[in-house]
Amino acid sequence: MSSLLEICANSVQSAQAAQTGGAHRIELCQNLEQGGITPSYGLIKQVQALLRIPVFVLIRPRPGNFVYDADEFAVMQADVLACRTLECAGIVLGVLDQDGNVDTARCRTLIELARPMAVTFHRAFDDCRNQPQALEDLIALGCQRVLTSGGAVSAPEGQEQLARLVAQAAGRLVVMPGAGITPDTICSLATHTGAREFHTSAKRRIDPQPGYPSLFLTDYYQTDAAQVARLVALLRP
């Protein structure tokens, strides 16, 4: 079975670098430095126009936890509909309840709005208090995949749990490791966990010097096409 690399892209430039490097799919977001939030309508539209590979869009109205109030949930629904209008290939979502369980009612609402787009449940899964039950909830909801580090800070640290989740899913849903995926870790993760899809930003720091003194310079990261190409090469049989 061939393996697949998904790149978390935070800009038009990152999305194009992912495609140039041979990525199979992107997850489009903004504010990557805080874990990512929903990208603007304009960014989604431009990336859709430029890319040939599938574009999945992160549906996350703010940084932080994954328990949302009514207004935040309304924003999420509107963003899902915008992605559907723009004919995106998929969305990436995650909603939990106050007890740290998958909020199945709200997730079901978003998934129904998303059809026919594919659905990935993101690393909100790593906040779930009972991951085996959460996995069954996602399968019952009809999610195609879950992005997870196995509940650890990084996928390499969570590889034992990732292997258990892959075995439990048994092909009913794709378990996609993410966090800490680098050329140094991806092969051992693939071997140890049995996973066949992997998620990373493959980013490098950009030095945005405008040519004049600016009060607003800040660290900025962008996907590196060469690093993507190396990861894709390592995944080849």
Residue-wise pLDDT for 45-78, tens only, equals 999 999 999 999 999 999 999 999 999 999 999 9
Q: How many domains does the chain have?
A: 1
4, 23 in Cβ contact below 8 A?
Answer: no
**Cβ atoms within 10 A of the Cβ of 107, count?**
22
Which range marks the domain in which residue 146 is found? 4-209+217-235
Residue-wise pLDDT for 92-136, tens only, equals 999 999 999 999 999 999 999 999 999 999 999 999 999 999 999
> Can you give the CATH number for the domain in which 41 is found?
3.20.20.380
Q: Name the nearest CA neighbour of 96 among 68, 115, 77, 136.
A: 68
Assigned token pair, 164: 């258990």
Q: Quick one: which H or E segment has residue 81?
A: helix 70-85
Q: What is the pTM of this model?
A: 0.94
Assigned token pair, 150: 């196995």
